[in-house]
Chains A and B, each alone.
Chain A
Amino acid sequence: MSMPPRSRTGSGPLIAGLIIAAVVVVTIVVLAASGATPAGVWNSFFPMHGTGGVTDRSGSVQNLYDIVFYIAVAIFLLVEGLIVWSVFRYRRKSTDTDLPPQTHGNNLVEVIWTVIPTAIVIFLFALSWQTLNVVDAVTPSQVHVRAVAAQFQWSFEYLDGPGDNANVVFKQVIPGGDAGGLVLPVGEPVHIDLRSPDVIHAFYVPKFLFKKDVVPGRNNNFDFTIEEPGTYHGQCAELCGAGHAAMVFDVHAVSRADYDTWLADSIAKANATPAPAPSGEAAGATVELVAQNIAFNPGALEAPADAPFTIHFKNEDPSVPHDVEIKDAGGAVAFKGDLVTGVAEANYSVPALAAGSYSFICTVHPNMTGTITAK
């Protein structure tokens, strides 16, 4: 069926075209100015910007994502194309005084655009069920870790076996950084049990393409094998209160040998007689510092320059470890205090600091920061 050619009327399409062109040009200029490359932009449409996951299961998630993505893009282009075509092609023009054909519907096309989408979604469902079986598969493993998420602190209990009756051989209380984090062997099935003593949290490591809620009163767990060594950022993904953003942790994936050495060392260190809390006699001036709700109070301290002094440190967060690490302007560590697990207090004997500005952080919670002025 042929339609008479139509002339476009009015300035609408012209203005619309100009606006669209302007937006496209501005977008390209801004993207280019911010250093984006076409490949980078394309990769940003894929999990972890195209770098994918690092576990034995993340590959199948990545594949499923890709399939859903390409189908979604195809449908998007088709339907958006039909909308844009209709908008530009079927504009009313000044000679359109008669009504267009009053089509009320067509049962055949209704059946077609019901059946085809149904087939697509059933296909996607079957595919995702298959992938789910891979992701949720239970693998017998030798490495058992109980990840405990509490407001606002991750800790990791290394167990000597499966189940609730297993003994804790080592408890990692520092959730991140080089000295802490969840250390796991590469190429070895790992079983994680999730526990929460307070509210709901979620164990989320973006590079695993996986998360699972940590629900109080519920024993969630999962299995996986990390395939690439490296350090992977993890974070609580379920709102858990004011310190939600601070609930970060690191996963250190190392070789089996390094893992064994690390675990043996950690157990030995933990079993050694703990050094007495650095209380003792207070040397020099004393400044008060409180850690509460994952924040230092006050955030700015003053101390005498060129003389040792004492920080009287109070940790008011129950069962949360904090410490104080002082760095000079260049980032060199001038002092690092021992961990204090709340509620408790300690006296840190800080060596003499040259006059100037220093920053301090809690190494467990890098978001906890403050400044010391020595003068």
Chain B
Amino acid sequence: MATTTLNPAAPAYRSTLYEWLTTTDHKKIGIMYLINSMIFFVAGGLLALVVRIQLVVPKSADVMGGFVTPEFYNQAFTMHASFMLFLFIIPILAGFGNYAVPLQLGAPDMAFPRINALSLWLLPLGGLLMASGFLVSGGSAAAGWTEYPPLSQQLGTGTDLWIMGLVLIGTSSILGAINFLVTIFKMRAPGLTLFRMPVLTWTVLVTSVLVLMATPVLTSALIMLFIDRNYGGHFFDPANGGNAILYQNVFWFYSHPAVYIMVLPAMGIISEVLPVFSRKPLFGYKAFVFATVGIGALGFSVWAHHMFTTGAVFLPFFSLMTFLIAVPTGVKMFNWIATMWRGQLQFSTPLLYAVGFLSMFLIGGLNGAFSAAVPVDFALHDTYWVVAHIHYVLFGGSVFAVFAGIYYWFPKMTGRMLGEGLGKVQFVLMFIGFNLTFFPMHQLGLAGMPRRIADYASAAGWNELNMAATVGGFIIALSVLPFFWNVLVSLRNGKVAGDDPWEANTLEWATSSPPPPYNFDHLPEIRSERPVFDARHGRTAAH
């Protein structure tokens, strides 16, 4: 094994900015992943407000002189989803992985630190390329984040920028996945067997396999689309022997596993937070790991449930697999509740968000089962019901987990605690705003409101529910303000955290806050999945 020089002396002329821009330290890279993702979270959120203002009343074009044109409306929801999925949720979870995985493995850094820096810097590059569509004539991509051809072949240069940006983002994901896999398989500390790995690291492992298998398929779909648009290809052009459905198959072969890429690490965060704040081990650790692997495997057999109404897929198979994937998800839910059961719950902000995740993700799972029943999906597909479903999964699920993770690891990252009061205010506002925005969308979908329409008739009976959703959207926007204020204040004046403020379990809490370069001066013995707990209480307490 090569020896590493700890703390190489940095030349004195390097500024902090230069240091951050050129760093290969996984912790700084992880933090920059989070910052970059939060910027796109705000941008995507503002675009969501555009959508909500447009829909606040029927015929808003008459009432408000047209808040936005239908063309811009289509760009707004397309870029809202593109930012939120590709530039916020996926990268911010990769950011947590970047920050926490090497620490949880007792490793000094990722396996390929320079590739890690490349993965990071491809993201703002890809994001800006995508966003630059707003500056070209015809505006940004506007065929929905799915960019189905032939519609996406009709639209302007913004779509090409969207494709190029997303290819870069996909490349970032693939590089990151390889990096995670090598790190996890080759750089675990002595004694840290696979079945002693923290669950977050397990979920990052499974997610990386998904990324590695699925993302190249997305890239191929995007490149085919690019060829069709620019070089006279006819992959998806039925007028010339192409097949429009082919794109949907290839796209969803990536994008359904991508839902698990956006959810599994979030589940990992919850599985770190719940045991610590319940003062108990995770209930059914191995069942949890098997369920994660099961979701990852089944995730590749359900892509066509996004295509039930195309008339081009074998419905019973995809219906069955979609129903079945609920089972490992349900196993996790019961394990989480059993973790809290007879525990001693410490209601710090991370636990609030974790409980918020449990209660909202439950709804996101149950309303998904409706769409697994194909005939019900015929009624609900492409209505606001589906919008409600995806937001209960990705906002009620992933975003709540993201905030649980931020409040949980902020002390480790900065050495200071985030304020509890502001954290709780943020949680309450976000929880109320979230439900007010997205719960009525179930009823809108049941009442027949299709998604992605820029306007609706007053007589359709959708007025009050849309008004409620818009009010809720502004409450969500409001809830983000105390968060940013909290971060700014706590960075300067927050309570000093110490190494292990939460009495946690995993190795990142065995080093200082923030950890030194290359992470550890010494490691505790690793005899279980909770080495720091063992060091604190002794091995006998654990059993």
Question: Interface on A for B, CB 8 Å cutoff?
Answer: 3, 10, 12, 19, 23, 34, 44-49, 60-61, 64-65, 68-69, 72, 75-76, 79-80, 82-84, 86-87, 90-93, 96, 99-106, 109-110, 113-114, 117-118, 121-122, 124-125, 127-129, 131-132, 134-135, 198-200, 202, 204, 206-207, 209-213, 215-218, 220, 233, 235-246, 248, 366-367, 369
Contact = CB atoms under 8 A, between A and B. Distances in A.
Contacts of A45: 442-443, 446
A198 B315 CA distance: 26
Contact of A86 (B151, B310, B340): B340
- Which of B238, B239, B337, B448 counts the most chain A CB atoms within 10 A? B448
19 contacts: A3-B342, A19-B428, A86-B337, A91-B347, A92-B279, A103-B338, A105-B285, A105-B338, A118-B324, A121-B323, A124-B373, A131-B373, A131-B375, A132-B374, A217-B243, A239-B452, A242-B454, A244-B454, A246-B455
A200 B366 contact: no
Contacts of B70: 242-245
Contacts of A122: 323
Given A86-B341, A114-B331, A218-B244, 8 more contacts: A65-B373, A72-B369, A90-B345, A104-B283, A113-B330, A121-B369, A128-B374, A131-B375
Contact of A209 (B337, B367, B379): B379
B2 interface: no
B67 interface: no
Contacts of A19: 428
Given A60-B375, A91-B345, A233 B367 contact: no
B375 A241 contact: no
Interface in B463-492: 464
A132 B326 contact: no
A211 B382 contact: yes
Interface residues of B, number: 95
Contact of B340 (A87, A99, A132, A220): A87
Interface string B202-246: 000000000000000000000000000000000000110011110
Contact of B378 (A34, A102, A135): A135
A132 B151 contact: no
B120 interface: no
A276 B9 CA distance: 90
B241 to A, nearest CB: 9
Nearest to A198: B150
A102 B214 CA distance: 39
B316 interface: yes
A109 B460 CA distance: 48
A61 B381 CA distance: 13
A-B pairs with the 10 shortest C-beta distances? A217-B238, A206-B448, A128-B373, A245-B453, A92-B344, A121-B323, A105-B284, A209-B379, A86-B340, A199-B151
B398 interface: no
Contacts of A204: 382, 448, 450
A91 B164 CA distance: 50
Given A12-B347, A121-B326, A215-B312, A49 B342 contact: no
Interface string B113-145: 000000000000000000000000000001110
Interface of B: 62, 69-71, 74, 142-144, 148, 150-151, 154, 238-239, 242-245, 278-281, 283-287, 309-312, 315-316, 319-320, 323-324, 326-327, 330-331, 333-335, 337-338, 340-347, 355, 358-359, 362-363, 366-367, 369-370, 372-376, 378-379, 381-383, 428, 432, 442-443, 446-448, 450-457, 460-461, 464, 537, 541-543
Contacts of B278: 90, 100
Contacts of B367: 72
Given A44-B446, A102-B541, A124-B323, A68 B345 contact: no
A101 B359 CA distance: 25
A190 to B, nearest CB: 17
A137 B286 CA distance: 45
A132 B375 contact: yes
B379 A238 contact: no
A322 B327 CA distance: 53
A49 B154 contact: no
A102 B341 CA distance: 11
B373 A68 contact: yes
A216 B239 contact: yes
B376 A68 contact: yes
A46 B346 CA distance: 39
A118 B324 CA distance: 7
A36 to B, nearest CB: 8
Given A19-B428, A86-B340, A218-B245, A369 B374 contact: no
A103 B280 contact: yes
Contact of B327 (A10, A114, A242): A114
B362 A99 contact: no
Contacts of A69: 370
Given A204-B382, A210-B379, A215-B311, A49 B446 contact: yes
Contacts of B330: 113, 117
A83 to B, nearest CB: 5
Nearest to B283: A105
A114 B327 CA distance: 6
A113 B341 CA distance: 16
A21 B42 CA distance: 31
A212 B360 CA distance: 31
Contacts of A237: 381-383, 450
Contacts of A68: 369-370, 373, 376
Given A45-B446, A236-B450, A242-B71, A202 B327 contact: no
B375 A103 contact: no
B370 A65 contact: yes
A215 B310 contact: yes
Contact of A117 (B150, B280, B327, B370): B327
A22 to B, nearest CB: 10
A68 B374 CA distance: 12
A149 B514 CA distance: 60
Contacts of B464: 34
A75 B442 CA distance: 18
Contacts of B148: 199-200, 238-239
B311 A49 contact: no
A292 B346 CA distance: 62
A12 B345 CA distance: 12
B309 A202 contact: yes
- Which of A90, A110, A239 counts the most chain B CB atoms within 10 A? A239
Given A34-B464, A76-B363, A102-B281, A128 B378 contact: no
A240 B451 CA distance: 12
Contacts of B331: 110, 113-114, 117
Contacts of B428: 19
A72 B383 CA distance: 20
B332 to A, nearest CB: 10
A21 B440 CA distance: 20
B447 A44 contact: yes
A64 B375 contact: yes
Contacts of A213: 309-311
A367 B281 CA distance: 60
- Which of A19, A45, A83, A233 counts the most chain B CB atoms within 10 A? A83
Contacts of B143: 239
Contacts of B457: 248, 366
Contact of A211 (B309, B323, B372, B542): B309
B343 A90 contact: yes
Contacts of A34: 464
Contacts of A206: 379, 447-448
Contacts of A215: 238, 244-245, 310-312
Contacts of A233: 448, 460
A65 B369 CA distance: 10
Nearest to B74: A242
Contact of A76 (B71, B362, B454, B461): B362
Contact of A244 (B342, B369, B378, B453): B453
Given A19-B428, A91-B345, A79 B319 contact: no
